Amino acid sequence: MRFHLRFFIHCSFIILLFGGVSSFYAQQAINPVYGKQSNALVKLLEKFHYNPPVFDKVFSEKVYLKFIHQLDPRGLYLTLEDLRVLNEYKNKLDDEVGNCSPYFLDVATRTFRAKLQSTDTLVSQMLRKPTDFAFTDTIFYTKSDSITYTANEKGLQRRWRRYLKYEVLVNLYTAEDSDKVNPFSLEVKDLLKKEPVVRAKILRNTQRKIRRILNHPDGFENFIATEYLNAIASSYDPHTEFFSDSGKNEFVSELSSDEYSFGISLEENENGDPEITHLVPGGAAWKSNLLNDGDILLKIKTLLPSVHDLPFTDITQVLEILGFKANKNLELTVRKRNGQIRTVQLEKTRVRSDENAIKSYLLNGEKKIGYISLPSFYTEWGTSSPLGCANDVAKEIIKLQEEHIDGLILDLRSNGGGSVYEAIGLAGLFIDEGPISVFKERNAKPQLLKDMNRGTAYDGPLLVMVNGMSASASELFAGGIQDYNRGLIVGSATYGKASGQTIFPVDSIYSFPELFSGSCVPGKADQGKMGYAKITVEKFYNLHDGSHQLRGIKPDVALPDPFYYNAYRESFLPGALPNDSVYKKVIFHPFPPLPISELSFRSAGRLKKNKSFLSFHQLNDSLQYIQQKEGMLILKPENYRREEKKSHQLTEAMEKLQSESTGMFKAENNSYEEQLLGMDSYSKEANALVLQNLQKDIFLGEAFNIIGDLISLHNK
């Protein structure tokens, strides 16, 4: 919905007022560790990054602006008076890093702490009074991602007044589970009865967000230092990141397979929201087939009953809710990366390490088609003989072949990637021995990624479903299948990430002592305290020399991308690596060309007559127009309702459209799974929901038709 997009408050006042630069900062103690940490990080990046930029004055400003944006992405804390102090360092960060100096970080830390504290007081004062809708305030919806700053504290107060008024309106018009009437249908006087409750909620959440930063578990200084170091790392490219020790542990951790859990790992994103970073293969969240990495948790409803609104909720509190033993069942409301809101019911389960995380299904219609959904390319890290998703898919293929399927659909929609070697192994299930992709490291010759195993697990008709959120390893796999003409790629252009990352301990750069001198020479106390860096070290190319970087994999048969008006692909990320090509002589033996033109013609003809897809296009076009429209919003209930009601109705219609049965097939379990379901009541209930969702998937319905056409054309 529209209010989920970032908006920026219009400022019409002239920026003229500046305060004097205080000498207070220079008199304070400075922690020298941060200076050494930034120096070691940059040297590590310079040595291992695929295409490291020169850390000069221009790059210094890029890092500076990214850092300020991370701290204050909406211009709600810092003013131009504050930035006048910080701007002294804008083009000096290269010198600071080179000299292991943490002066800028010290100034930024003290400035931001003071601003958070004063803002906490300001917000408390504002929200303890009823919202004054009689006074006319306005904001501007804009597509720009640039930040505007107020001139001084008075301007900042005006901005907060507008921002909080907007938040009150958003919450007033957001339906709660207890609401019996759609808020958009209420009279303003009835709607405003909820204003005190809404205002108290916003006060609680806003204060919680501010105080969570001020009282960060790693310490406020370490939090700011981590933001600064990540600004340096992510300025190299969007997928290069810095992690503190605790952040790294969260990034690579998987929930225990020996305990009951919902199978979700969470991290706090840059906006302070709980974001799903990992689904445990085989866990309840994974099996729901509705959740993905990158989903934002908006609400948790437990069966006690209790509803927890999650934006700005401390991540530790969210984890406590999920881990609380009494909460065996819950309902999650999430916002997908494409803006869609989903509600999912989960029950805690014990995830066993020997359990197959992948489940296969049968789609019975004019043809009997096997279906396997793969949300990510997981693997058993750290083992000599990893048995990950490729092995699990192979097991499911065996079960499906016993059902005498006519074809197979492998669903990689919203699969954000994972292990490259699992992607290669998965491709090897469908082709004989041979190269799958080309990769190139910095200053090295291109090399081949090969499937080394002879033979295939499945040689029948194959269709691979993708969308704009199919990324990285998903694209590598889809590209290999496409190069070999082994199967049809169906859907929309993929995300466009053709790079690989490796995690390094930052202090591993100390293995090269010749790189350090003077005050930057590490001591024993520095070892093990420098954090970690995820660094882009390689790029991938298809077997015809090209790359899907930025462009994505172009499907053989195109289907519209759900919520295509949202800009969430690699090409929209600032600093993304460019698309290029390499030369590498590759010998491989593709299958005969597939009848793509005929299949596309038949599919397009069906879509033109399909009422669901026609409605889908109309809704998407309308939402796109609304989302991209710029203009002023008067912050009064009647104006907000008039402006947002249409967007609300369109979004509801879009969600309803995706809840209607396609009628193309009946989704069923394979015989092996059917026997297991009789032993577990929860699994049986959850399974019924998955089958129901498959039958409502209009995109899967058309994929079923396409592979049916492929089989028919092949038989001719």
Check: CB of residue 169 under 8 Å from CB of residue 665. no
CB atoms closer than 10 angstroms to residue 658: 17
- The angle that helices 611-628 and 698-715 make with each other, rounded to 10 degrees, is 130
Per the rule left: phi > 0, alpha: psi between -120 and 50, beta: everything else, 508 is alpha
Helix, strand, or coil here: 16?
coil
Task: State both tokens at 586.
Answer: 């590759």
| Radius of gyration from C-alpha coordinates of the chain | 27
Are 150 and 79 in contact, with CB atoms under 8 Å apart? yes
Phi and psi, residue 222, nearest 5°? -70, -35
Number of Cβ atoms within 10 Å of the Cβ of 531: 24
Domains of the chain: 2-30+53-235 (no CATH), 258-350 (2.30.42.10), 362-499+537-612+660-715 (3.90.226.10)
From the list 447, 365, 368, 360, the residue with the least C-alpha distance to 407 is: 368
Q: How far is CA 488 from CA 241, 462, 519, in A?
A: 35, 6, 59
Alpha helices in 128-194 (DSSP H): 153-172, 188-191
Res 465: pLDDT: 98
- Whether the upstream peptide bond of residue 305 has omega within 30° of 0, thus cis, is yes
| Nearest of 378, 416, 415 to residue 254 by alpha carbon | 378
Q: Report the pLDDT value the prediction gives residue 19, as an integer from 0 to 100.
A: 32
Q: Are 1 and 651 in contact (CB under 8 A)?
A: yes
Q: In the chain, which stretches have pLDDT less than 50?
A: 1-28, 251-258, 305, 353-354, 384
Tell me how far CA of residue 539 lies from CA of 122, 439, 447, 449, in angstroms: 48, 6, 11, 12
Q: Give the per-residue pLDDT at 308.
A: 57
Identity (one letter) of the amino acid at 5? L
Tell me the two tokens of residue 590: 């593709």
Residue labelled with tokens 């929309």: 492
Q: How many CA atoms lie within 13 A of 53 on its CB side?
A: 19
Residue 84 CB neighbours (<10 A)? 13
Q: According to the model, what pLDDT value does residue 222 have?
A: 92
Give the C-alpha separation, 273 to 526, whole Å: 32
Burial of 237: CB neighbours in 10 Å, binned 0-12, 13-18, 19+:
buried
Total length of the chain: 716
CA dist., res. 716 & res. 714, Å (int) = 5
Q: What's the confidence (pLDDT) of residue 256?
A: 35
Secondary structure E strands in 186-292: 241-243, 260-261, 264-268, 274-279
The DSSP bridge pattern shows strands 329-335 and 296-302 to be antiparallel
- Identity of residue 193: K
562-586 tens-digit pLDDT:
766 566 789 989 999 999 999 899 9
Structure tokens at 574: 């600032």
CB 232 within 8 A of CB 242: yes
Residues 6+ apart with CB under 8 A from 272: 209, 212, 213, 311, 312
Q: Quick one: tokens of 101?
A: 């100096």
Half-sphere exposure in the Cβ direction for 293 (13 Å, CA) = 20
* The dihedral formed by the CA atoms of 469, 471, 473 and 474, expressed in degrees to the nearest 10: 40
Q: Which residues on neighbouring strands pair with residue 617, listed in sequence order? A: none
Half-sphere exposure of residue 156: CA atoms within 13 angstroms, side-chain side? 22
Predicted TM-score of the model (pTM): 0.83
CB-CB contact of 276 with 295 (8 Å):
yes
Q: What is the rounded CA–CA span in Å between residue 576 and residue 676? A: 46
Enumerate the β-bridge partners of residue 300. 308, 332
Torsion-angle region of 491 (φ positive above 0: left; ψ -120 to 50: alpha; else: beta): left
Distance, in Å, from the CA atom of 187 to the CA atom of 128, rounded to the nearest integer, reads 24
Tokens 């225990």 belong to: 256
> Would residue 552 be called left, alpha or beta, if left means φ above 0 and alpha means ψ between -120 and 50 degrees?
left
Cα 279 to Cα 418: distance, rounded to the nearest angstrom: 12
CA distances from residue 110 to 30, 217, 228 in whole angstroms, order as listed: 11, 18, 14
SS3 539: strand
Distance separating alpha carbons of residues 292 and 294, to the nearest angstrom: 6
Which residues share a beta bridge with 437?
449
For the beta carbon of residue 469, count every other beta carbon within 10 angstroms: 24
Other C-beta atoms closer than 10 Å to the C-beta of 462 total 20
Q: Residue 167 corresponds to which tokens in the numbers above?
A: 């938040």
Q: Give the integer Cα–Cα distance in Å for 223 and 615.
A: 47
